Amino acid sequence: MIKAGIIGATGYAGAELVRLLLGHKETEIKWYGSRSYIDQPYGDVYRNMFQLVDASCMDDNLEALADQVDVIFTATPQGFLASVLNEGILSRAKVVDLSADYRIKDVAVYEKWYKIGHKSPQFIDEAVYGLCEINREQVKKARLVANPGCYTTCSILTAYPLVKEGIIDPDTLIVDAKSGTSGAGRGAKTQNLFCEVNENMKAYGVASHRHTPEIEEQLGYAAGHPITISFTPHLVPMNRGILATEYAKLNRKPDGSLPSYEEVKAVYDKYYKEEKFVRVLEKDVFPETKWVEGSNYTDINFKIDERTGRIIMMGALDNLVKGAAGQAVQNMNLLFGLDESEGLDLVPMFP
């Protein structure tokens, strides 16, 4: 059995990790870390865990935790892991970090967008960006995995094949993404109160959202050169889900014509046909958050707009599963040589 510890077990992503790992045949949770609820029974914090989890919450001492487990999940705010990670911890346990501390390779870019100093940049180069469908082989050999977030996972997977194959001009890429409120975390914030969110939709982080450089960096690797995109997130009044609608200029073929539906579909199939957790939908069937809720799937499709010479790409996922905890479990499975889908055979919930 793989012994796992979770730091940040009482946040939304941490609680989702608990839910998934309780259904994982090869894993045992040994540490429910939560600075806010130390010594309180986990089942009192989340009543859905009553009689399922009999442990109490512990602190966030990674040094002690590394001696007791094989893998540490850190579902913590930006800056926490970077402030405490050291070689001793990494030599004793593998780490899957759900924050952004090791996702961006350029320290200056991280510090500019997150507005905090990075306390352990020596580990950035070895950290593997844990988007399994793209970096599967690198994840298998890693000690430290930078688990991508929800907006980035959806945005990157939706456009990646077309960027990689040169079907679109990536510098024309516009990402319009919408998220359920659980993506904002469990902390008490006025802007996330029911009366502030209900019956409302708003853009935020306009031209300044900190996931922008992460999307640019990863799609830049696919393009083979740095790219610049426009990314605008929106908050919508639902619990879960990400829907990304992306627009880009199609590169014309030598004869001046646009790629056909069949040609674009063949590119998506080349990258995703064998991927369990990416579903490329049938023609003119477009992703909806309700069809991926509670699952580790990402649904993707596209529409060519011949009038404008652009393509509209769409992706949907559950921000707490494939966008956070599910992807973290998928990464853990790769790290320990397990079936990648172990613990993740989750049928989407509806209604």
Distance CA(167)–CA(207), nearest Å, equals 25
Please pick, among 57, 132, 150, 154, the residue that the annotation labels catalytic.
150
Strands across the sheet containing 174-179: 202-203, 230-235, 174-179, 242-249, 310-317, 298-305, 278-280
Q: Which CATH class is domain 2-148+322-335?
A: alpha beta
What pLDDT is recorded for position 184? 81
What pLDDT is recorded for position 189? 82
**Confidence at 284, pLDDT banded by 50, 70, 90:** very high
**Confidence at 53, pLDDT banded by 50, 70, 90:** very high
H runs (alpha helix) in 225-312: 261-272
Q: What is the mean pLDDT of residues 104-118?
A: 97
Task: Give residue-wise pLDDT tens across range 15-24.
Answer: 999 999 999 9
Question: For residue 12, is pLDDT > 90?
Answer: yes
Active site residue 154: no
**Confidence at 244, pLDDT banded by 50, 70, 90:** very high
What pLDDT is recorded for position 348? 98
Question: For residue 185, is pLDDT > 90?
Answer: no
Task: Give the residue among 44, 25, 1 at the shortest CA–CA distance from 15.
Answer: 44
What is the chain's Cα-based Rg? Answer: 20
Is there a contact between 93 and 65 (Cβ–Cβ < 8 Å)?
Answer: yes
Mean pLDDT of the chain: 97
Q: Which CATH class is domain 151-318?
A: alpha beta
Neighbours of 228 (CB within 10 A): 12
Question: For residue 187, is pLDDT > 80?
Answer: no
What pLDDT is recorded for position 250? 98
- Per CATH, 2-148+322-335 and 151-318 having the same topology is answered no
What pLDDT is recorded for position 218? 98
Strands across the sheet containing 27-33: 27-33, 2-7, 71-74, 94-97, 144-146, 128-129
What pLDDT is recorded for position 192? 81
Q: Where are the domains of the chain?
A: 2-148+322-335, 151-318
Residues in contact with 7: Cβ distance below 8 Å, sequence separation at least 6, in sequence order: 14, 31, 33, 60, 62, 65, 72, 73, 74, 75, 76, 80
Question: For residue 1, is pLDDT > 90?
Answer: yes
Task: Give residue-wise pLDDT tens across range 56-97.
Answer: 999 999 999 999 999 999 999 999 999 999 999 999 999 999
**What is the percentage of the chain residues whose pLDDT exceeds 90?**
96
Distance CA(297)–CA(276), nearest Å, equals 8
The gap from C-alpha 155 to its chain's centroid, in whole angstroms, comes to: 10
Task: Give the residue among 260, 302, 311, 306 at the shortest CA–CA distance from 281.
Answer: 302
Question: For residue 291, is pLDDT > 90?
Answer: yes
